[in-house]
Amino acid sequence: MKPLLVFGARPNFMKIAPIYRAMRARAGFDPVLLNTGQHFSKDMSDDFVAALELPAPDIHLGIGPGSQSAQVSEIMRTFEPVLNEVQPDVTVVVGDVSSTLAAALTSSMCEIPVAHVEAGLRSRDWRMPEERNRVLVDRVSTYLFTTSADADDNLLLEDIEPQRVIRTGNVMIDSLDWVLPRIDAAKCLETLDLTSREYGVITLHRPSNVDDDETLRGLLGALAEVSRDIELVFPVHPRTRNKLNGFQTRDSGLKLLAPQGYSDFMALLANARVVLTDSGGIQEEAVVLGVPCLTLRENTERPITVDSGINELVGTDSNAIVDAARRRLSSPMPEAYRPPLWDGQAAERIVDALEDTPPAWPDDNESRTALEEAIS
């Protein structure tokens, strides 16, 4: 089997790496790596490739910066000739970014099976570009690899045929388990002059949080207030850095850092007392690491992390953020929690499924019959 593995943005790297390693170790698989170049910053791409010990991609589209529509259209334009040349048996896409959508749509148009890793996640917030991407990719995918039971339920409620839905677990946790023994956390903390459990971590990058001046101002005010109680380190995403230039952060009490590589950020997160974030993946990692997580959003596509009690949706109201942070800081650290199949073996199950399960094309007669039986 010749799978084409597509990545291009930071969260993709951690999801593709364990799948690539599992395929390389399996007889009969000849995976091809393709980097779209969606994350054009070396801080946001090259370091992650090195930390995860991914080889240089076989193909690099070099897309670079642009609006979502510009990136999607350019990826589709340059991706189709690649499909014609490589002739993959399946295109594997991960997550919910522009690269995911573009590769899935193009492959579907070329009648190449699509495997969507991390399928079925839903925030129910159509203002999020990621939500639109998830729904569209799931509709055209032939393999829907899910992380948890709620994702299965979401797909079945959307009339997705049951044969296309395969719960495999969370490949993000595969990468987390792989990298933690390989990093020197003590050295990382020493370099930043931090002490384990005596600091918190901030990440902000969602357009709804950083592109609106009023929302961003309120968040920065709340974080500055929390920093009176605990030191807060803030690795700043490039899009957020551009917005912060218009705000006074010098006396905010926040320790602003350059974007951190995967290994260093995992060391920061694993030793934090609390994390305040709008990232989806960090919610999952925090739960497995047992680090209290305050999600600065009104919704999440990962409700299983909230059900664990470790992650809490606090929105963007300043008072709610400060109150939640102080409540967590005065409470004991929670026990780490691993949902079912978040065991570091998700990639192996994905490769098993691709090896053993023929593609179930959307809306074929056999699948439709099975769906009707499942609903009845």
Catalytic residue list? 205
Contact by Cβ (8 Å): 239, 205: yes
Tell the burial category of 81 from Cβ atoms under 10 Å away from its Cβ (0-12, 13-18, 19+). Answer: exposed
Contact by Cβ (8 Å): 317, 301: no
Contact by Cβ (8 Å): 18, 346: yes
| Amino acid letter, residue 5 | L
Residue 299 dihedral angles phi and psi, to the nearest 5°: -150, 170
Reduced to 3 states (helix: H, G, I; strand: E, B; else coil), residue 199 is strand
Q: Which helix (H) or strand (E) holds 294?
A: strand 293-295
Among 288, 272, 111, 297, which Cα is nearest to 204's? Answer: 297
Reduced to 3 states (helix: H, G, I; strand: E, B; else coil), residue 47 is helix
Cα separation, 285 vs 283, whole angstroms = 6
Contact by Cβ (8 Å): 168, 145: yes
Sign of CA dihedral 83, 86, 91, 92: negative
Give the strand pairing for 199-203 and 254-257. Answer: unpaired
Reduced to 3 states (helix: H, G, I; strand: E, B; else coil), residue 235 is strand
